[in-house]
Chain A
Amino acid sequence: MAIFNLKKREIECKVVYYGPGRGGKTTNLEYIFKTFRKQITGEMVSINTEGDRTLFFDFLPMGLGKIKGCEIKVQLYTVPGQVQYSSTRKLVLRGVDGIVFVADSLEVRREKNMLSLKDLQANLKEYGLNIFKVPLVLQYNKRDLGEQGIPLMSIEQMDQDLNRQLKVPSFPGSALKGDGVGVALKECTKLTLKSLQRELKWAQ
């Protein structure tokens, strides 16, 4: 849940990057950290384990400037994607305001994408949130690997698998090259702020 500090006219919201393990969530945050230096308000914190897998979470604080007299701060988090870190994922998801779901475009990861989305839905439900109502965007990552002849799912297939019912904004991307990173974050923060505006009535 976003923190609205009336006295300071400041809103702090939480955006979580969710998705299957090794799908590129941390790479998204690394790219944001490298590229949007002006908006970054602190260091990126990553807690990794063997093989650079996210063990707990990554954290990156950003400032988006003022909207209608309110200072907007966004905290970006990633969750550990590996199945066994279920309780950590759930803890990191607590108080979420917006989600970027990073799906892996590799054909061999098709099932993992679907399982991770199902896991997201179940964890949101635990916090009384509905996946159909929470601000959510999808990023179909690793599109660049198609150039190397690696079998990727088509965008249509990924939409069919993951977005048939959700019908949320989706973006092809390559977090490594930065494609689709900024646009996915921008759309997610836009949806999040709209949702907070409705909820907190802060900009009316």
Chain B
Amino acid sequence: MGEKENIKRLLQEAELYKGQGLLNEARLKYDEVSDLVRNNPKIKNKQKLLAGLAKKINLLEVDTQKVEKGPSSPELSSRAQDLIQQLFSFSQEESEEEAALEGALALAKFGQFERALAEFDNLLSNEAHRVVAAKNILRCHIALSSEEKAADIYEKWAKGDTFSADQLEKLRVFMEQVLENKGVDRKLTVIGTKAKAVVEEKKEEEFIDISAIGIYLDSGPSKGKVVEFDVNFQSGNLLSLIISKRDGKMIEHLEVNNELEDLQFYSPIAIFNGSGLVAAKSEIQSGPKQGDYCLDIKITST
């Protein structure tokens, strides 16, 4: 195939990928064409061609940014919110309250915080789900406005009679950990005794909130060291960590299903040891954290 045909073919590919929304693939093809044009002395009007290609690449970058900066959680119509609530209430057959909690959690997960707040508020009247609903109300307020606002809500609860002293203590421990992680210097009103709440928290919840994890690395540039990472998200015994691309080499050798011994878990209550396994590892392909890694660790024993 001649150079001219090759360029024509690559351009056709680039246009098609762009049409398919495969923006990175389109960009790579335009780059390939630019290199071919730049390095071929026989091509006439080289500067004009290169300028045309640069324009196309710029437009692609604008599209890519639009995609990456698009609303991560737009406010949906109430019909769509009803559907989410209905479709993701998995326990409808077993327990209405459990289903209501699942529906509210799904709404929050899909970024429908205002509606989720209303649903969690309703759940505060349910003794069995009160603390979980309250923690999620605080999470929703953090997502909607700020940690300070969530702390204000806690203080309002502390003055009211919706929660028992033990329940408030659980919420205080949870909220103070959030504030500490975010670097917010604010002390919350203590109601009841700290120790009792902590013991009950451990009994009631199989996995307490873990804020950071120390991993003993037996390979890579940090071999023989314990490296600490913040926990970005926790769902029961599954911890999700976002690891900066700078630290990528440290976890390069970790593969899915690798068992991790000698893990250190840092919680608001205590530091404890345990083991886990790598549940998932992936590189973030786009957005502000592009190139960083997402590592999921499942706690197997503590």
Say whether A and B bind each other. yes
Binds B, one of A30-38, A53-61, A132-140: A53-61
Chain B minimum-CB-distance residue to A84: B287
Q: Which residues of A sit under 8 angstroms from B9, Cβ to Cβ?
A: 149
Which chain B residues in 1-21 approach chain A with CB under 8 Å? 9, 12-13, 16-17, 20-21
A3 near B74 with CB under 8 A, answer no
A45 near B83 with CB under 8 A, answer yes
CA distance A88 to B88 in the complex (A): 11
B164 to chain A, nearest CB (A): 32
Q: Which residues of A sit under 8 angstroms from B80, Cβ to Cβ?
A: 45, 47
Q: Which residues of B sit under 8 angstroms from A122, Cβ to Cβ?
A: 256, 279-280
Chain A minimum-CB-distance residue to B87: A59
CA distance A59 to B87 in the complex (A): 10
Q: Total interface residues on B, using CB and 8 Å?
A: 40
Q: Is B186 an interface residue (CB 8 A)?
A: no
CA distance A53 to B22 in the complex (A): 11
CA distance A53 to B84 in the complex (A): 18
B67 near A91 with CB under 8 A, answer no
B91 to chain A, nearest CB (A): 10
Q: Is B149 an interface residue (CB 8 A)?
A: no
B21 near A49 with CB under 8 A, answer no
Q: Is B266 an interface residue (CB 8 A)?
A: no
Which chain B residues in 31-74 approach chain A with CB under 8 Å? 63, 66-67, 69-71, 74
Q: Give chain B's interface secondary structure class.
A: mixed
Q: Is B121 an interface residue (CB 8 A)?
A: no
A115 near B13 with CB under 8 A, answer no
A177 to chain B, nearest CB (A): 15
A109 near B22 with CB under 8 A, answer yes
B241 to chain A, nearest CB (A): 13
Chain A minimum-CB-distance residue to B287: A84
B280 near A119 with CB under 8 A, answer yes
Q: Is A145 an interface residue (CB 8 A)?
A: yes
Q: Which residues of B sit under 8 angstroms from A87, Cβ to Cβ?
A: 109, 233
B70 near A82 with CB under 8 A, answer no
Q: Is B162 an interface residue (CB 8 A)?
A: no
A95 near B282 with CB under 8 A, answer no
A-B contact count (CB 8 A): 84
Q: Is B97 an interface residue (CB 8 A)?
A: no
Q: Which residues of B sit under 8 angstroms from A75, Cβ to Cβ?
A: 87
A84 near B284 with CB under 8 A, answer yes
A89 to chain B, nearest CB (A): 11
B280 near A88 with CB under 8 A, answer no
A51 near B21 with CB under 8 A, answer yes
Q: Which residues of A sit under 8 angstroms from B17, Cβ to Cβ?
A: 106, 108
Query: Of B70, B88, B106, which one neighbours A49 at CB under 8 angstroms?
Result: B70
Q: Which residues of A sit under 8 angstroms from B93, Cβ to Cβ?
A: 3
Q: A91-B109, A109-B22 are in contact. Are A150 and B287 (CB under 8 A)?
A: no
A98 to chain B, nearest CB (A): 16
Q: A22-B22, A51-B67, A91-B109 are in contact. Are A84 and B280 (CB under 8 A)?
A: no
CA distance A51 to B69 in the complex (A): 11
B88 near A86 with CB under 8 A, answer no
A106 near B22 with CB under 8 A, answer yes
CA distance A59 to B106 in the complex (A): 15
CA distance A84 to B21 in the complex (A): 16
B294 near A149 with CB under 8 A, answer no
Query: Of B87, B279, B282, which one neighbours A115 at CB under 8 angstroms?
Result: B282
Q: Is A151 an interface residue (CB 8 A)?
A: yes
B90 near A94 with CB under 8 A, answer yes
Q: Which residues of B sit under 8 angstroms from A88, Cβ to Cβ?
A: 109-110
Q: Which residues of A sit under 8 angstroms from B76, Cβ to Cβ?
A: 47
B107 to chain A, nearest CB (A): 11
Chain A minimum-CB-distance residue to B106: A91
CA distance A47 to B196 in the complex (A): 46
Q: Is B258 an interface residue (CB 8 A)?
A: no
A150 near B256 with CB under 8 A, answer no
CA distance A84 to B289 in the complex (A): 10
Chain A minimum-CB-distance residue to B278: A122
Q: Which residues of B sit under 8 angstroms from A165, Cβ to Cβ?
A: none
A59 near B110 with CB under 8 A, answer no
B8 to chain A, nearest CB (A): 10
Q: Which residues of B contact A (CB under 8 A)?
A: 9, 12-13, 16-17, 20-22, 25, 28, 63, 66-67, 69-71, 74, 76, 80, 83-84, 87-88, 90, 93, 106, 109-110, 233, 238, 256, 279-280, 282-287, 294
List 14 A-B residue pairs with CB atoms under 8 Å apart, sorted by A's residue number.
Answer: A22-B20, A22-B21, A45-B80, A49-B70, A51-B21, A51-B67, A87-B109, A91-B109, A106-B25, A108-B17, A108-B28, A115-B282, A119-B282, A145-B16
New A-B contacts (4) at CB < 8 Å, excluding given A22-B20, A45-B80: A47-B80, A59-B87, A86-B280, A115-B282
